[in-house]
């Protein structure tokens, strides 16, 4: 593993398992000082211990917790260089089956949470001479899904936020980029598909076979893309949509 993130301080929301866990493991392996965050303290402490990081409990729906998370990162490490907005929820809901409360819940995590964490981080990134915000997206932001209406819409909002921040903060050398995720066998996705189909792994494998590459991507592949965007190798990249979905849009 390279040391291209040596000296950088990174925080990843929703990083107690799944894609977020893979990201903190990769960033730490490449030399970053990492802060794990989420709402599952047992898994968070375990992951942090295994990679030599710290864990901060943070419910991104709450402005005070987002501000507290960033403040804790800066208090512990003296700076922040990378924010990865990964925390997300993705219930299976059609338009007619959804409720206003369910809609608000999804948006409060997927879009509002990223906004709140970014708002808290930007002053520190600016004061440090620049930095990186990476938002974890989805292919559903482009084509929607009748059974994940709130999720798709919230990620569409996150994509727009990414572009807006990239433009707004380029002068501050704060790079804002997006990673498009396709089908990934994360614990949350497997659990959802188990509930809907009875065999989540088989369902995801079949979906992967439909992609040009013939398989779903791994959490480690998503993490590799985030590590690149977080590094100085991507110093001239902002407003980018990095598609790690096995060619789903070819």
Domain boundaries, the chain: 9-182+217-244
Q: What angle do CA 39, 42, 46 make, to 5 degrees?
A: 115
Q: Which residue has the tokens 């789903």?
A: 248
Closest CA to 13 of 31, 32, 33, 39: 39
**Catalytic center residues:** 151
| Res 16 pLDDT > 80 | yes
Token pair 């970014």 is found at 118
Under DSSP, the state recorded for 218 is P
Question: Which tokens belong to 187?
Answer: 């614990």
pLDDT band at residue 113 under the 50/70/90 scheme: very high
Checking if the pLDDT of 191 tops 80, the result is no
Strand ranges, E, within 62-158: 82-85, 131-136
Residue 98 has pLDDT above 70, yes or no: yes
At 250, is the pLDDT very low, low, confident or very high (cuts 50, 70, 90)? low
Task: Report the pLDDT value the prediction gives residue 175, as an integer from 0 to 100.
Answer: 98
Percent of the chain residues past pLDDT 90, beyond the cut = 75
- Spatial separation of the C-alpha atoms in residues 21 and 183, rounded to whole Å: 17
Is 89 a residue whose pLDDT tops 70? yes
Averaged over 210-222, what is the pLDDT? 88
Name the pTM for this structure.
Answer: 0.93
pLDDT of 204 over the 80 cut: no
pLDDT bin (cut points 50, 70, 90) of residue 159 is very high
Please state the rounded mean pLDDT for residues 207-224: 88
Q: Is the pLDDT of residue 177 over 80?
A: yes
The CATH class given to the 9-182+217-244 domain equals alpha beta
Average pLDDT of 5-13? Answer: 97
């Amino acid at each position: 593993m390279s040391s291209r993130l040596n000296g950088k301080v990174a925080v990843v929301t929703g990083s107690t398992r799944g894609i977020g866990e893979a990201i903190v493991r990769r960033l730490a392996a490449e030399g970053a000082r990492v802060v794990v965050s989420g709402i599952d303290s047992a898994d968070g402490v375990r992951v942090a211990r295994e990679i030599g990081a710290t864990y901060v409990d943070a419910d991104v729906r709450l402005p005070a917790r987002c501000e507290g998370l960033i403040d804790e990162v800066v208090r512990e490490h003296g700076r922040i260089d990378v924010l990865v907005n990964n925390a997300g929820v993705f219930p299976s809901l059609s338009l007619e089956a959804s409720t206003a409360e369910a809609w608000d819940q999804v948006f409060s995590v997927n879009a509002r949470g990223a906004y709140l964490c970014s708002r808290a981080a930007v002053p520190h990134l600016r004061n440090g001479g620049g930095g990186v915000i990476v938002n974890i997206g989805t292919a559903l932001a482009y084509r929607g899904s009748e059974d994940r209406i709130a999720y798709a819409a919230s990620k569409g909002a996150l994509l727009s936020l990414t572009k807006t921040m990239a433009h707004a903060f380029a002068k501050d050398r704060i790079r804002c980029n997006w990673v498009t995720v396709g089908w990934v066998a994360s614990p949350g996705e497997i659990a959802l598909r188990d509930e809907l189909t009875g065999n989540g792994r088989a369902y995801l494998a079949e979906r992967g076979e439909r992609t040009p590459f013939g398989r779903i991507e791994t959490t480690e592949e998503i993490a590799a893309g985030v590590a690149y965007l977080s590094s100085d190798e991507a110093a001239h990249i902002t407003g980018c949509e990095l598609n790690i979905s096995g060619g789903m849009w070819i």
